[in-house]
Structure 1
Amino acid sequence: MKQLFRTKSIEALVAASNVEGKRLDRTLGAWSLMALGIGAVIGSGIFILTGTAAAGEVRSFHSILHVPILDLIMNGANSSFTIGRPGAGPGVALSFLLTAIACGFAALCYAEMACCIPVAGSAYTYAYATMGEFIAWLIGWNLILEYAVSNMAVAVGFSAYFNDILESIFGWHLPKQLSEPMIVGGQFTGSWFNLPAFLILMLLTWVLTYGIKESARTNNIMVLVKLGAIAIFVIGAGRAVSTHHWHPFLPNGMSGVLTGAAIVFFTYIGFDSVSTAAEECKNPQRDLPIGIIGTLLVCSTLYIAVALVLTGIAPWQSLNSAAPVAEALKNLNMNTIREWVGVGAIVGMLSSLLVFQYGQARVWFAMSRDGLLPRFFSRIHPKHHTPHVSTWIAGFAVGIPSGVWDIGTFADLSNIGTLFAFTVVSAGVLVLRRTQPDRPRSFRVPFGPLFPLLSIASCLILMMALPLETWVRFFFWSAIGIAIYFAFGKKNSTLANS
């Protein structure tokens, strides 16, 4: 029991990151870190969930496993199997603002921990320094799930979008057998393998293996392209905004704004990936807080701008479609802007895939260096100085399932893993302030323990809004991780063996 909750000192974590043969090159500055965050946060969701939150939705559940856990706690056997979410209308801009504030609490906590512990591994490393090895393992194990499942879903979406572009521009498309998942909803589709999803992941894995500087440069270009696409939409479509679409601004009152916030919350997930780059940052004490907080500020501004323009060019009731932005632009005959939105969506997927694959490999690398995973995961390429083994294993671990399954149904697993990590990092701030109050901090979360506590409360409430099925899968995945820890990690931990 002592070993389970034994912490690793920050000095030991930093020293391990400087061991020859296990050291990563420090090449990233504040802008590159911010670009990593923007690349992870802003994907195609900005053009989809904005409309869903504005128009609202009705969700029917065919099993008690699909009912939100909060509804089960409050209503028990009388829980409703149909939940209507009132639309936020033009007030979806306020939904994005409220969500940014809620995420801001967690972002501030990440910023303080990142400047205190400038080591790869993100929430896993922070937990190791504050709550002990066992909690760190659970966090790392669930971070692997978060990044992997997110990218499986995005890769499948990229494949569908890529095939659609091939047909609309060149008039041909890949055969169904090579462009769709083999299994959807537990049923065989007749497809052999989703080749585009697999190949794009292999291409990005090669880029990540080649070097962090080259990977960051590639991501910077993609971020500039999708920011340009968003700017073209906001400025170009902004000329067609009719203010009468904004009246009433809150058609369903604050309840619509709050349910809209619950829908768009998960568009913000990804800013934590900035902290996985701590070990490759030139000046982590200064640049990491800038990268994390800057990501949230830029993304919030863009989300709010898109929300205001979208609800200004179309009635909010008409936005509940699979592609609300594209539909609105089509109705206005703004086909050029629509094409740029398509470019922004597909580049957004690519940058999200790149950043999450990067983050996943760094978590595996950090866990291996601590002895909790086999040592070969922490091997460094002699020429490119990247964790090439963990990067390629992560690539195949995501690429092969992406070719076989439609992973969209497992998206909530990514959400619960992320919220669990947010909760632990926020609690870690409180623990570190109590155990090491005099440790130098280039950034501190303001208002003492209030903001970390608000972050914990926000995350727990959002976790309760996830369905029972997600919790069952979360505990099942955690149980597998615990078994691996006691079979391998506990015996091979460098902390225990030292």
Structure 2
Amino acid sequence: MKEIFRYHTVFGALWMNKARRKTLAQIQATGKQHNLKRSLGATQLLLLGVGTAIGAGVYVITGTAAAEYAGPSVLLSFLIAAAACLFAALCYGELASTFPVSGSAYSYAYLSMGERMAWVIGWLLLLEYGVAGTAVAAGFSGYLTSLLENFNIHLPAIITQTTFQSIPHSTSGLLSFHHNINLPGLLVMLFISLILIRGIEAVARFNTTFVCIKIAVLALFVAIGVFYISPANWHPFIPPSQGNFHFGIAGIFRAASIIFFAYGGFETVSTAAAEARNPTRDVPIGIIGSLVICTIVYVTVAAVLLGVAPYHLLDRADPLAVATMLIHKPWLALLINAGATIGLFSVLIGLLYAISRMVHAISHDGLLPRVFSIIHPQFKTPWLATILLGLLMGVMSATMPIALLGDLLCIGTTLAFAMVCFTVIWQRNQDPKAHRPFQVPLGAIYIRGIWLGITPLLGIFFCLCMLIPLGLNIIRSTLNGNLIPLLFFIIYAALGVCTYLFYGRHNSTMNQKSPHHPHNHHS
């Protein structure tokens, strides 16, 4: 049956003779060698996921998705994106309970698709986390600047705007150079690096406090805003289509593909598996629980926001501020601004945490230089990786207009989610008797003896639904002359290929001749 599954899988046929796959035993052995400190419980993992997911999605993306693509029907977009994420989250839950190691989709791909595909997924995820963190740092800088202005503290443009800026009304994506640097974006990333180095307990305490504050602020907005809802603002619920994914049914799916990326914070929990006290039980709770909480928060806040403010007014960086102006409560606007600043800070903690653990896992396997997996003797954290990544993301935030990269960056996350769903199918057929503390629901169909789970199949289907509008938008943008996102991606992909060919392939722990092979080198 295993042979049938191998030969009947497109990827299996392509990679069967060449892929260096890890076995279940190797994956589990890796989890025991990492030297990270296991100190996170289910509640802390849940709050880590919530802290990373509730940020730009609720404070920024809701307004853009409603004003540009879906109108009031953006509520359906949230539910479609949540459904897509839920199937992926259930698959993450099964794999995380079976293989409690850091590295998330990268480690799972190593198991199902082999080393090369694991490298591709890992490289894409580093781009996702890195640019998402850079973009959130820029958003944090904007909210902080706005918050300080409420107290008559005006930061000059020279320290709040990026060095390179998009030329207004230019479709070619050209940049202009200015003698500016976004200093708050740089400083916040360095500050968070120092927090993360101190250890996961300090991170969990910071995160718990910030998550409680931002959810309390959003709850206050809902509690007050509900009395100012005008049902007329919800009509027409699905505005008539204007073509190019603007409104109509196509607009709902286009908005869902943008929002889908905002839900991705739940994946951060799977990168924390190596630091969870009881990962087989707590990681699935953290992943699925954080997604459920985020869905409830997103839909509730969006419903009130669109009831208070007409959707066409919301295409701006701070849509909640529009609603607070309409209900004439300046003190609430100040609170929401403070909540957004704190909220984005906790998102940055989660993103930098996730990327540092991802890099640690890849380095531990020998595919990146060993310096990235050096653990601090006292704090038990990958401290060099954390500092270097924080500095890199800070410098990018200080100099580059990240909005340029747009949809391109959502594609890696979507592919990673699809890969995780595929890995569940692969692993169920490769090792059907393995102990799985958490299993995906909804059962399976069998074709020629091959197990095809309904949940992972639906996860792959929804990921494809998210990919189509993203891909079409990138093609249209490129044809209009905006070549920068595509060029950036080509350069990044080329760098990834070269890194693997000239370094990772030779230094991999799967390579018997590698100096990092477990028999030759003790971690």
The TM-score, its normalising length taken from structure 2, stands at: 0.85
Residue 280 of structure 1, CA deviation: 0.3
Aligned pairs for 1:201-220 within 5 A: 201-220=189-208
Check the 8 A contact 1:106/1:455 in 2, yes or no. Answer: yes
Residue 113 of structure 1, CA deviation: 1.0
Structure 1 SS opposite 2:161: coil
State the distance in 2 between where 1:254 and 1:457 align.
18
Residue matched to 2:457: 453
Change over 3 Å in CA distance of 1:249–1:461 after alignment to 2: closer
With 397-406 and 137-146 compared, the bigger mean Cα shift is at: 397-406
Aligned pairs for 1:48-63 within 5 A: 48-55=60-67, 57=68
State the distance in 2 between where 1:160 and 1:316 align.
22
Structure 2: runs of 5 or more not aligned: 1-14, 167-173, 241-247, 445-452, 479-484, 518-523
Aligned pairs for 1:63-74 within 5 A: none
Check the 8 A contact 1:236/1:337 in 2, yes or no. Answer: no
Residue 372 of structure 1, CA deviation: 0.8
Residue matched to 1:155: 137
With 225-234 and 40-49 compared, the bigger mean Cα shift is at: 40-49
State the distance in 1 between where 2:255 and 2:362 align.
37
Change over 3 Å in CA distance of 1:111–1:480 after alignment to 2: same
Aligned pairs for 1:125-204 within 5 A: 125-169=107-151, 171-185=152-166, 186-204=174-192
1:444 equivalent to 2:439? Answer yes
**Equivalent residue for 1:403, pick from 387, 398, 405:** 398
Residue 118 of structure 1, CA deviation: 0.4
Check the 8 A contact 1:122/1:276 in 2, yes or no. Answer: yes
State the distance in 2 between where 1:319 and 1:160 align.
17
1:37 equivalent to 2:53? Answer no
State the distance in 2 between where 1:248 and 1:137 align.
46
The TM-score, its normalising length taken from structure 1, stands at: 0.89
Q: Pairwise CA RMSD of aligned residues?
A: 2.0
Equivalent residue letter for 1:364: V
1:12 equivalent to 2:12? Answer no
Check the 8 A contact 1:148/1:398 in 2, yes or no. Answer: yes
State the distance in 1 between where 2:202 and 2:290 align.
21
State the distance in 2 between where 1:223 and 1:462 align.
28
Aligned pairs for 1:352-391 within 5 A: 352-391=347-386
List, as ranges, runs of 4+ consecutive aligned residues in structure 1 with deviation greater than 6 Å.
none
Equivalent residue letter for 2:156: P
Structure 1 SS opposite 2:223: helix
State the distance in 2 between where 1:54 and 1:410 align.
21
Structure 2 SS opposite 1:184: strand
**Equivalent residue for 1:229, pick from 201, 212, 217:** 217
Check the 8 A contact 1:273/1:359 in 2, yes or no. Answer: yes
Percent of pairs identical after alignment?
Answer: 41
Residue matched to 1:327: 322
Residue 371 of structure 1, CA deviation: 0.8
1:305 equivalent to 2:300? Answer yes
1:462 equivalent to 2:438? Answer no
State the distance in 2 between where 1:187 and 1:394 align.
25
Check the 8 A contact 1:416/1:474 in 2, yes or no. Answer: no
With 250-259 and 302-311 compared, the bigger mean Cα shift is at: 250-259
With 209-218 and 267-276 compared, the bigger mean Cα shift is at: 267-276
Residue 262 of structure 1, CA deviation: 3.3
Residue matched to 2:497: 482
Aligned length: 465
Check the 8 A contact 2:58/2:298 in 1, yes or no. Answer: yes
State the distance in 1 between where 2:368 and 2:281 align.
31
State the distance in 2 between where 1:223 and 1:3 align.
48
Structure 2 SS opposite 1:119: coil
Equivalent residue letter for 1:27: S
With 264-273 and 276-285 compared, the bigger mean Cα shift is at: 264-273
Change over 3 Å in CA distance of 1:427–1:41 after alignment to 2: same
Check the 8 A contact 2:98/2:436 in 1, yes or no. Answer: yes
Deviation by residue 1:397-427 (Cα, 9 ceiling, x = unmatched): 2112222212221243331111121111111
State the distance in 2 between where 1:403 and 1:259 align.
30
Structure 1: runs of 5 or more not aligned: 58-84
Residue matched to 1:67: none
Deviation by residue 1:286-307 (Cα, 9 ceiling, x = unmatched): 1111111111100000111112
Check the 8 A contact 2:253/2:466 in 1, yes or no. Answer: no
State the distance in 2 between where 1:260 and 1:142 align.
22
Residue matched to 1:88: 71
1:238 equivalent to 2:221? Answer no
